[in-house]
Structure 1
Amino acid sequence: MSHGKLREEKDCLNCGHLVEDHYCPHCGQQNIQTRQPFYYLFTHFVEDFTHYDGQFWGTLKNLLFKPGKLTNTYLEGKRQKFVPPVKLYIFISFITFFLFAVFPPFDINFEGKKADQTEKAFKLNRLTETTKMLDSIRTTTPSNGKDTVAINRINTLLKDSTRLSDIEDSFDMSKKLDDKFEYNGYTNRKSFDSAKAKNPSFYDFINVPVGHKFFELKENGVTKGEILKKLGEISFHNLPKALFIYLPIFAFFLWIFHNKKKWWYFDHGIFTLHYFSFLLLTILLFSFLYKLADVTHSSISIIIYLLMNVIFFYSIIYFFIAHYKVYHTHGVVSFIIGSILFMFNFFAFLFLVMGLAVISFLMIH
């Protein structure tokens, strides 16, 4: 119940009916003062979602530890005891991504450690000179079999060192996109557009915009670290939209695999909202534990990481338990259908994430 100050008058300001208690019996509006203290705005917002009479906390307890209970209760028509599924999902989604925006879950240094270019060039030159010297010795100086084997081994080690240096260079996030970087085998937009004009393909609606963005970033001198950082930030901001888009897809797969006469699409939507609310909570808890592990002693960190693994596997097992309890199928049949659904959703969501990554890349500026 809201803690707003009640009016002394007994007429409803909304419909004019007589109000004997807190709420109008005709329209349901609460008979409170039209002007309240400022803190009321905050308390009213919190109460509207959490219902401090125990509804919210009871909902959370059942959501986390009793898979399928909320869905079964709601579909049975008992809808006042727990927070409605849509309101629950919106509130948890808001809290999760608000906290992620304020306290980023993963602090990754995308810029990397800037390498000393002079030192790298010196080492590379020494490797090249040594390789040439060994080749010269092998071709001009008579040598026995053992010398030849030794020289070949040294040459192999030098080539491996050069290859490792190139790999290290590719992971240097402070490095800009220079001429070594290509897109579909092309180093500039002009040659890329010319090739696409001569040989168009079905995938050009994706390939061409991505190519143009790549060459735009290359011309602007953007570093690899900056690209990864911006890509991560934009993808994170688009993630709530992606999850919201995927809700009806997840419910659609459930509708396909279950009796359509007994289970309406609406029913699958309720199950989906509850399961996605659970996933958001576990993601929030997982990120909190990850942060906690970074600031605690190593021995405690091990326990935290073990707990994170338990949460990860529990989130997978949770789906199978909830699926079995809601749809009341035979244990083996439920497991088989659940496994197929899990596989379908994994690939479908992976496809959605790839699409999100492409859109996020195109939004980099």
Structure 2
Amino acid sequence: MTSELTPSEKDPLTKNKQLAFSESENVVICENCHAQVNGMYCSQCGQSVESTLKYFWTVILHLLDDIFSFDSRANRTLIPLVFRPGFLTKEYIAGRRVHYVPPLRLYLFISIVFFISLQYFIDTEEASNFKSNANNADVIQQIETKLTTIDHLIETSPNEQASSLRKQKQQLEHIKADIAQNEDDNLSSLASQLAQLSLDESLHDQPMQKEKYDKLKKQLELARNAEKKAKPKGFTIGNNKDGSFTLPFLSDSENIKLGKIVDGLETKANKAFFEDPKKLVEAVIGKMPQIMFVLMPLFAVLLKVMFIFSKRLYLEHLTVALHSHSFIFFSILLAELSGLARKFLFDNSYETAGDLFNVIQMCIFIWIPVYLFLMQKRVYQQGTLLTTVKYMFIGSIYIIMIGFSAAIAFIWGVVDL
């Protein structure tokens, strides 16, 4: 039995007339089934009336808007995110979602801002030493000029005088290295003062200058020794007494190959750490967003296991994970901004206002664990004692997970250097 064709299907001309008529009457016709549409979607086939054929930049802007759009919902989301533990999660699970930023979008936005800001904070710490580095650069330039002069004199001087000049050259090179490294502000300052005296031609003709020179030289030697003792020995990944790294389930030949890989990573990591630590930190931080995005569903699995009798779906636990991490990142971001404000105020002699931001920063770091405890208690609605036990256990496991994540980020960052 065949269905009877409609007039428009029998006669294509009739179909075109109907479409032309509908357009003239401002009636929307579905492009898929040609039924009349009232609204944004066809009631017959479900297709949207909005065309998918758009300019490329329009598609990109819509995509960015879907990810980052923070309209009036942002105010209704960020305030309870910080001050009302568990509120957003309970609202989302209860189905009241239209007034708030979705959990995944909220996490993506905050995490991107957070990890980008870490780079900025590193830069500001480096910038704080710019002034001293600039002053030391002048001293280093003077030392290099003096060293060039000494080299010329050594070539044309008698042996005894040349020997004295070589000792002076060696002393200046040590001072130059102390200033250039700038690992210790006190050591760098002493070296700079000693360099100024060393460059003074009238040093040996003035007893006071000579006494000051000897005193600074002794202080610098003590500072050098203290700096050497405090200097870290470097990274090591070995799990044996001899510093090698082996795994019991691998054969000897496989452990030898593994040891060579580990030795290469150690060498690369130590070189990066002592030569350009900022670059190493940037590489590690650059890997954290991807690793945290993988860690998120694993943390949700941990919540599912710990609250297995709560009869909650996995996506509900994932919502808890997304909201809790969004809160942690946002709070740390606020704490870092408070730290910057405190430093700025102290540098400009506003100690009282600086102390206020110091208190704010401390309160934020205290509020983070308290907030997470209250969030767990309100979302899962369990007693205080049981919540405390589970909170401590989940926290311990999560710290281990963060440790593994940091190790992976470190190794991954070193490999990509």
Q: TM-score range by the shorter chain?
A: 0.5 to 0.7
Report the Cα distance in structure 1 between the residues aligned to 2:235 and 2:69, rounded to whole angstroms.
Answer: 53
Gaps in structure 2 of 5+ consecutive residues: 1-25, 144-169, 176-218
Cα offsets for 1:122-161 (capped at 9, x unmatched):
9xxxxxxxxxxxxxxxxxxxxxxxxxxxxxxxxxxxxx99
Gaps in structure 1 of 5+ consecutive residues: 1-7, 123-159, 174-179, 186-191
Aligned residues: 302
1:289 lines up with 2:338 in the alignment: yes
- Which amino acid letter does the alignment assign opposite residue 339 of structure 1? M
Higher Rg: 2
Cα offsets for 1:243-298 (capped at 9, x unmatched):
11211222122122213461232221110011111112112222222222332244
Report the Cα distance in structure 1 between the residues aligned to 2:73 and 2:91, rounded to whole angstroms.
Answer: 14
Report the Cα distance in structure 2 between the residues aligned to 1:340 and 1:94, rounded to whole angstroms.
Answer: 29
1:212 lines up with 2:231 in the alignment: no
Identical positions, percent: 20
Report the Cα distance in structure 2 between the residues aligned to 1:201 and 1:302, rounded to whole angstroms.
Answer: 59
Q: Secondary structure at the match of 2:124?
A: coil
TM-score (normalizing by structure 2): 0.58
- Which residue of 2 is the match for residue 168 of structure 1? 227
Report the Cα distance in structure 2 between the residues aligned to 1:32 and 1:67, rounded to whole angstroms.
Answer: 42
Cα 1:346–1:224, aligned 2, differ >3 Å: closer, same or farther? same
Could you tell me how far 1:162 is from its partner in structure 2? 7.0
Could you tell me how far 1:305 is from its partner in structure 2? 1.7
Could you tell me how far 1:31 is from its partner in structure 2? 5.0
TM-score (normalizing by structure 1): 0.65
- Which amino acid letter does the alignment assign opposite residue 395 of structure 2? F
1:238 lines up with 2:271 in the alignment: no
Cα 1:329–1:118, aligned 2, differ >3 Å: closer, same or farther? same
Report the Cα distance in structure 1 between the residues aligned to 2:279 and 2:406, rounded to whole angstroms.
Answer: 16
- Which residue of 1 is the match for residue 86 of structure 2? 68
Could you tell me how far 1:96 is from its partner in structure 2? 3.0
Higher helix share: 2
Report the Cα distance in structure 1 between the residues aligned to 2:65 and 2:404, rounded to whole angstroms.
Answer: 36
Paired residues of 1:96 and 1:284 also in contact (CA < 8 A): yes
Q: Secondary structure at the match of 1:253?
A: helix
Greater RCO structure (CA 8 Å; 6+ sep) = 1
Cα offsets for 1:48-77 (capped at 9, x unmatched):
64352x323212222111111111122222
Paired residues of 2:376 and 2:387 also in contact (CA < 8 A): yes
Cα 1:120–1:200, aligned 2, differ >3 Å: closer, same or farther? farther
Report the Cα distance in structure 1 between the residues aligned to 2:392 and 2:105, rounded to whole angstroms.
Answer: 29
1:362 lines up with 2:380 in the alignment: no
- Which residue of 1 is the match for residue 392 of structure 2? 339
- Which amino acid letter does the alignment assign opposite residue 241 of structure 1? Q
Cα 1:312–1:222, aligned 2, differ >3 Å: closer, same or farther? closer
Could you tell me how far 1:210 is from its partner in structure 2? 3.4
Cα 1:213–1:31, aligned 2, differ >3 Å: closer, same or farther? closer
Q: Cα RMSD between the aligned structures?
A: 4.5
Paired residues of 2:30 and 2:47 also in contact (CA < 8 A): no
- Which residue of 2 is the match for residue 107 of structure 1? 124
